């Protein structure tokens, strides 16, 4: 692929882009139970999109050159602080997403400890096994050791005694979830906060997905345990706006109990020959688009609008949980406390994963979650307000999909492959043998098969390190500058 010799017309460009999009997951209409948060409110979404366009060239790199962005960010942080039990001391930053917020929470803890606990030379982060992968990623990027802790096998909530036992003189940060992505439950934040406080350790609450919605669920009468900055011992909290704030993607927040702690998040560099750099977050050049769009979406819906969206989400969730739990051979994992549901099925991992394919052929995306760390192979649903309109159709299709999988005989080739996989060392496979193994489950030339159950079942059968190696090899091949076969050609 090279640049076109001369510029294309607007029509040609959009015809191509729209054609490319035809194979994508639909972001409206309720088909997606992961990746997409659809409020079903087209007018407010259009306001946010226009605000994005208005600010897409503005650069948050220099708040003195773009005081509007400073103002918008401070206002959004203020709204979030009020929403999450903060006080006048609360300080925060707007980031590109949950992962960036969590990287910053971990960096802040590491650098706070360098100043306040200089005896710690090998900092550790204590994480329940249900903590989001991006906390592991943050530790990986920043050189902290992760110490994982067990959860209650029935509730899927963090075990406080296990966290206490995992604390060492090197522990600088504990993280817990409100809610956890995988099972949608709130960890015992009050107890963990008391523990962290007593030991002088920082505590981050990952409320990336729960922070926006939980306070509304509480107002609607749902039982929501304490989880925010009002809990003693909680020193930082993250909340994504691009999830249940329904803002365009690229919008999250990290809040700290005060500015003295937030200070350790910042980075300045005057030791080069260019302009002086001071960055509050990971990004340096920072588009104004996501900030303006988030501000616009928050103002377009307002508190009453979000409360109504939460009401629809709660109603959709209750209907879906009841409907899923009533299906033969299906079990909901734990007791979902918000709008995220995980369920498993009789018949083993391959059968569970086959349900995802059977739903895909019916037009729905449900998200496979592989077994491990105390959780069986399951399917995940992230439910948003836009789903209320499609609940009955979804449940009818799920019933049919479950029935289809229950009555279809296991694929003997796949069963054999899975037995083999259990004995293979994927971390030591050559690229060629790896490609052969992938071909057996239908992956050829970087193209995924229509049915994913084979490849998912193969991954499900592998230990985590082998899964990681397999995924990295696969994705390293997927992104190639020589044209992706998965998409229609853009060069005609």
Binding residues vs ligand PLP (CB under 6 A): 97-99, 102, 132, 134, 177, 181, 206, 208-209, 240, 252
Using the minimum distance from each CB to ligand PLP, give the nearer residue, 112 or 181.
Answer: 181
Q: How many CB atoms lie within 10 A of CB 64?
A: 6
Question: Which of 60, 454 has the CB closer to ligand PLP?
Answer: 60
Contacts of residue 38, defined as CB under 8 A and 6 or more positions apart, other chains included, come to 27, 28, 29, 30, 32, 246, 384, 385, 386, 387
Q: How far apart are CA 360 and CA 259, in angstroms?
A: 47
Q: By C-beta, is 241 or 292 nearer to ligand PLP?
A: 241
Return the number of the residue (177 or 313) whose C-beta is nearest ligand PLP: 177
The residue count for the chain: 492
- Tokens for 356? 């995802």
Query: Cβ 243 to ligand PLP, closest distance in Å?
Result: 6
Quote the least distance from Cβ 69 to ligand PLP, whole Å.
Answer: 20
CB closer to ligand PLP out of 37 and 426: 37
Closer Cβ to ligand PLP, 208 or 358, answer by number: 208
Is the CB of 55 or the CB of 181 nearer to ligand PLP?
181
Q: Are 196 and 236 in contact (CB under 8 A)?
A: no
- The Cα 235–Cα 204 span in angstroms is 6
Which one, of 186, 206, 133, lies nearest residue 370 by Cα?
133
Q: Which is nearer to ligand PLP, 65 or 133 (CB)?
A: 133
Q: Closest CB to ligand PLP belongs to which residue?
A: 98
């Amino acid at each position: 692929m090279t640049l076109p010799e001369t510029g294309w017309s607007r029509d040609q460009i959009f015809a191509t882009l729209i054609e490319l999009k035809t194979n994508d997951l639909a972001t409206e209409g309720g088909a997606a139970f992961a990746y997409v948060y659809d409020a079903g409110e087209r007018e407010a979404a259009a306001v946010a999109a226009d605000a994005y366009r208005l600010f897409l060239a503005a650069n948050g790199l220099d708040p003195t050159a773009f005081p509007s962005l400073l103002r918008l960010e401070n206002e959004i942080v203020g709204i979030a602080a009020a929403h999450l039990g903060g006080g006048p001391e609360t300080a925060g930053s707007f980031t590109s997403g949950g992962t960036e917020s969590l990287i910053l929470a971990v960096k802040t803890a590491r650098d706070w400890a360098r100043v306040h606990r200089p005896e710690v030379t090998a900092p550790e982060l204590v994480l329940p096994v249900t903590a989001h992968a991006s906390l592991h990623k943050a530790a990986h990027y920043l050189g902290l050791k992760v110490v994982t802790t067990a959860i209650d096998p029935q509730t899927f909530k963090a075990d406080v005694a296990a966290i206490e036992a995992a604390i060492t003189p090197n522990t600088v940060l504990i993280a817990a979830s409100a809610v956890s992505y995988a099972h949608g439950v709130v960890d015992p934040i009050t107890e963990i906060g008391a523990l962290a406080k007593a030991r002088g350790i920082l505590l981050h609450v990952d409320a990336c997905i729960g922070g926006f919605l939980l306070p509304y669920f509480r107002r609607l009468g749902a039982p929501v345990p304490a989880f925010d900055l009002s809990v003693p011992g909680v020193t930082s909290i993250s909340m994504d706006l691009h999830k249940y704030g329904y803002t365009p993607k690229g919008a999250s927040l990290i809040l700290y109990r005060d500015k003295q702690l937030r200070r350790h998040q910042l980075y300045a560099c005057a030791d080069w020959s260019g302009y002086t750099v001071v960055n509050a977050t990971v990004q340096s050049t920072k588009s104004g688009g996501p900030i303006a769009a988030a501000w616009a979406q928050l103002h377009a819906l307002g508190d009453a609008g979000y409360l109504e969206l939460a009401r629809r989400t709660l109603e959709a969730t209750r209907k879906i949980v009841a409907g899923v739990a009533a299906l033969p051979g299906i079990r909901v994992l734990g007791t979902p406390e918000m709008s995220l549901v995980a369920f498993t099925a009789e018949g083993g991992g391959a059968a569970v994963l086959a349900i995802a394919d059977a739903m895909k052929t019916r037009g729905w995306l449900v998200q496979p979650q592989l077994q491990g760390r105390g959780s069986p192979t399951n399917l995940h649903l992230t439910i948003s307000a836009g789903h209320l309109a499609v609940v009955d159709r979804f449940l009818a299709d799920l019933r049919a999909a479950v029935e289809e999988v229950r009555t279809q005989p296991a694929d003997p080739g796949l069963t054999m492959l899975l037995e083999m996989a259990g004995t293979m060392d994927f971390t030591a496979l050559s690229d060629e043998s790896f490609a052969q193994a992938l071909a057996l489950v239908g992956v050829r030339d970087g193209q995924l098969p229509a049915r994913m159950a084979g490849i998912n079942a193969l991954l499900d059968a592998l230990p985590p390190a082998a899964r990681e190696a397999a995924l990295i090899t696969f994705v390293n091949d997927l992104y190639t500058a020589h044209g992706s076969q998965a998409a229609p050609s853009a060069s005609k």
